[in-house]
Amino acid sequence: MPKIRTLRTRKPPEGWDLIEPALEEFTKQMREIEVAPSESRRKVEMLRPIHQLNHQRSKYIYNLFYKKHEISRELYEYCLQEKYVDAVLIAKWKKPGFEKLCCLMCIQKTNQNFSTSCICRVPKDKLDENRLFECRHCGCRGCSSGD
């Protein structure tokens, strides 16, 4: 999980004022998640909200740069360098078959039983229709591209 820096080491590029309120809102939500009580949740469920918020924040910047073309490359690279977004997750989204990837833990074979990918990476048409499933790491219910 990338650490969010509150003290900027260099001046942000032009266009920062457009995305700053959204990033501040994500930071506020992250702080709320960190201080939320976790005694009633299982151990594997405690990090789910953090993974989901990391995905939302990274997807927000990814969409602004690659899909909508609303921010400059300089601003995008600034967000990557200052670790406002998860650069490795965005790099995976650019590869075919990983466009909907929810988190990096779902493709790490060392974290899974039988050294395979997570159940959320299996296309829904290959699974039993009556079976409900979710990723044990991030709570995803299906992030494969073959839906």
Average pLDDT over residues 102-122: 70
Q: Which residue has the tokens 């939302």?
A: 56
Position 112 pLDDT exceeds 70: no
Q: Does residue 84 sit in the same domain as residue 32?
A: yes
107 domain-assigned: yes
Q: Does residue 108 sit in the same domain as residue 132?
A: yes
pLDDT of residue 7: 59
Q: Does residue 68 sit in the same domain as residue 128?
A: no
Give the range of the structural domain holding residue 25, as residue numbers without chain letter: 16-94
pLDDT of residue 18: 93
Give pTM, 2 decimals: 0.81
What sign results for the dihedral spanned by CA atoms 93, 95, 100, 105?
negative
pLDDT band at 16 (very low <50, low <70, confident <90, very high): very high
Position 13 pLDDT exceeds 90: yes
pLDDT of residue 43: 73
Q: Does residue 52 sit in the same domain as residue 78?
A: yes
**91: CB partners within 8 A, 6+ apart:** none
d(CA 147, CA 122) in angstroms, rounded, equals 9
Average pLDDT over residues 42-56: 85
Number of separate domains in the chain: 2
